[in-house]
Amino acid sequence: MENENLVVNLEQDLTEIAGLIWGYMDKKYISQMKRQLDGYRQSCEQNLCKEAQLLKAMIPFMPEESKLLQTVVDTIIYNDMIEKSLEEHEELGRLYRDENKDRENLKKLMYKLVLFKIVTAIEKGSMDA
């Protein structure tokens, strides 16, 4: 019997495991979420509030500020997408409902921030967003 050395590369193994998990999550959940988010995005882009329409119209006339203006418009769209998802999925609303309206607003804001991170990560295809 030859002397075989066991080589353990935990970093590589963990990277491969993470890739397998991401692939599974993508196949099972994320691809469905992407389709739903695309629908929300289309709806929200077609029904922009007047403020977002104005900002979007200003972009060609303010080239030095165009990136900032587009970021603000995108943020408004993300907020609208999240609001739409909260309306369609009542179970999410139960997470932040509270008799104390100040606390409810704070909890809703926290959930919206978490959802913003998740939505942007899903759209970019990675949780490193």
Q: Where are the domains of the chain?
A: 10-124
Residue with tokens 């080239």: 63
Residue 100's region, left for phi above 0, alpha for psi from -120 to 50, else beta, is beta
pLDDT (0 to 100) of residue 70: 96
Interatomic CA distance for residues 126 and 77, integer angstroms:
20
- Taking alpha carbons only, the member of 81, 76, 83, 88 closest to residue 123 is 81
DSSP H or E stretch at residue 97? none
Which tens digit of pLDDT belongs to each residue from 62-86? 999 999 999 999 999 999 999 998 8
Which tens digit of pLDDT belongs to each residue from 17-67? 999 998 898 788 878 888 888 999 999 999 999 999 999 999 999 999 999
Question: What pTM did the predictor assign?
Answer: 0.70
pLDDT (0 to 100) of residue 129: 46
